[in-house]
Amino acid sequence: MNVTQTIANDLVLDIEWAHASHTADLKSAGATRPERELVGFSALTQAAQTTRAADCLSLWVEGSYENDGQATYERNRRRLQVLAKLIYKGRPNDSLLAYRQLNSFVIEQFTALTASEYNCSRSTAQRGVVRAFDIIAERHGGNARELLDFFNAALGHRLIDSVWEDLLREEQSFPAYAAI
């Protein structure tokens, strides 16, 4: 088995396990019709939020994979803060541009993380991720590209939400400085 297929298989298992876990949680909480299909924005984004891949991406972005990750953490935090402000407080056109930039950031960072974990090139890592969504589309139906877009959006929202919470705390702690 080549590296591309290994990446794809691992990511498919990660996403399907997270989806199965979420469905079981819904059922145990008394949901009469828990989500069974992995296809669709709601199901895939819920699964993506709880994957090992999402946890690892958060650690990667905060610099935990590096010996001296402080510089990486600061650089990524600043970039995400700018995007968070544009998304949550900006004008509609600014928000749309920020979402596109966030999507690019997620793809860039997730590809770098995957390449690092599997000791391969970024292009091989990217092919593995794309292949994973081809497999999910084959198994569960749906459009592979659309599913990948949903996954990227969920990862991006997870990163933005953590930064946004920090920004709100800072503004509440120093309201006079927040207005400057």
Tens digits of residue pLDDT in 94-125: 888 899 999 999 999 999 999 999 999 999 99
Mean pLDDT of 21-44: 60
Q: What is the pLDDT of residues 41-59, one digit of tens each?
A: 566 677 777 788 999 999 9
Percent of the chain with pLDDT over 90: 34
Q: What is the mean pLDDT of the chain?
A: 83
Q: What pLDDT, on a 0 to 100 scale, did the predictor assign at position 36?
A: 53
**Prediction pTM value:** 0.81
Q: What is the reported pLDDT for 50?
A: 78
Condensed to tens digits (0 to 9), the pLDDT of residues 65-101 reads: 887 788 888 999 999 999 988 888 878 888 888 999 9
Looking at residue 148, its amino acid is L
Cα separation, 134 vs 148, in Å, equals 9
